[in-house]
Amino acid sequence: MTVKQKTLKKGGKLGEVLRSREISLLLVMVLLCVVIQWRSGGTFFTPGVITQLAQNYAYTAVLTFGMLLVLLIGGIDISIASTLAFSGMASSMLMQHGFLTNPFMVFLVSTLIGLGCGLIIGLVIAKGKVLPIIATLGFQYIVRGLTYVISDSKWVSSDEMLPAFTQFSLDSFLGIPYLAWIFLVLFVIVLLVLKWTEFGRQIYAVGSNAEAAKISGINIDRIKILVYSINGAIAGLAGAMFTSKYASAQSNMATGAEMDVIAACVIGGVSLNGGQGNAVGALLGVITIAIISKSLSLVGIDAFWQQALKGVIILLAVAVNVLVQRNNDREVLKGREI
């Protein structure tokens, strides 16, 4: 008993706890995969299914990394799906009318439009001192409405898009689809930035204790504006990915995607109070969401029950998270008594 407590005491550092949390999530995921593989009669882990999974959920994954940054500074952004639709629609329309002739320019323009949206949201939150949930709720209405206004509620269909642009989402490099490359590269960037750059550490500082961060000389407003701008840019990038993947741009696209994205972050152990969570967790979270969504039909669960099950899984994930945390805290306290 004492030996166990001693090891626990050693491992009581925050880093250890966080790392173990990701390992437990990974274990759950592996278990999930094994069960699915067994129940689906080996039809899950085939290159075809995995590729499809990566293509379908690449945009969710990309959005998750943006949301991770926002949640880390203690904010929230429920307008990302609207930003995605607006920048995807705007760039598609520019392509439709022949202003953009290079598929990479479409991606770039879409990202820049998203950056603009994010910048405005960041300014309202930081300089206007509006609570993030309220500001982004407002912008959810505004940006989605503007999408309908600029498109006049019409679609941009695949034959009006550049063939190279729609082909982009189908092609792959080294056996991995381009869309998956985008989120993998973004994952590495976010991971590195959060861990080893001043900006990354400042994000954690603002999220853990804004007052303390301010006193220690961090320009909180600047960090907030930057983070919301980055998040907007990522949503814009996701907009181009979405339109490329589905080869059409509609005003109501990706409605409700923000909920999936927040759920992915929460499953990945990102706290909504800020300052807690990392890129690995977010990646695992979004993979879990993707696997659940994809696999239910493979194991013979009626497609209509998928949403309900998703809700249960999110609840279980957060409840287990709390129980583990409580247990850890108790053990740490016990260790201190001795």
Question: Does 286 sit near other proteins (CB under 8 A)?
Answer: no
Tell me which residues in 144-163 interact with other proteins (CB under 8 A).
144-146, 148-149, 153
Tell me which residues in 22-61 interact with other proteins (CB under 8 A).
none
Q: Using the 8-state DSSP alphabet, how is residue 44 labeled? A: S
Burial tier of 44 (Cβ tally within 10 Å: 0-12, 13-18, 19+) = buried
Question: Does 83 sit near other proteins (CB under 8 A)?
Answer: no
* Host H or E run for residue 9: helix 2-10
Q: How far is the CB of 300 from other proteins (least distance, A)?
A: 14
Question: Does 297 sit near other proteins (CB under 8 A)?
Answer: no
Q: How far is the CB of 171 from other proteins (least distance, A)?
A: 34
CA distance 280 to 68: 11
Question: Does 90 sit near other proteins (CB under 8 A)?
Answer: no
* Host H or E run for residue 159: none
Question: Does 105 sit near other proteins (CB under 8 A)?
Answer: no
- Closest C-alpha among 194, 182, 219, 205 to residue 63: 182
* Host H or E run for residue 10: helix 2-10
Question: Does 322 sit near other proteins (CB under 8 A)?
Answer: yes
Question: Coil, strand, or helix at residue 249?
Answer: strand
Q: How far is CA 261 from the centre of its chain?
A: 5
CA distance 321 to 32: 17
Question: Does 91 sit near other proteins (CB under 8 A)?
Answer: no
Question: Does 277 sit near other proteins (CB under 8 A)?
Answer: no
Burial tier of 13 (Cβ tally within 10 Å: 0-12, 13-18, 19+) = exposed
Question: Does 300 sit near other proteins (CB under 8 A)?
Answer: no
Binding mask 157-196 for other proteins (x = CB under 8 A): ----------------------------------------
Where on the chain is the footprint of other proteins (CB under 8 A)? 74-76, 124, 127-135, 137-142, 144-146, 148-149, 153, 207-211, 251, 259, 262-263, 266, 271-275, 302, 304-312, 314-315, 318-319, 322, 325-326
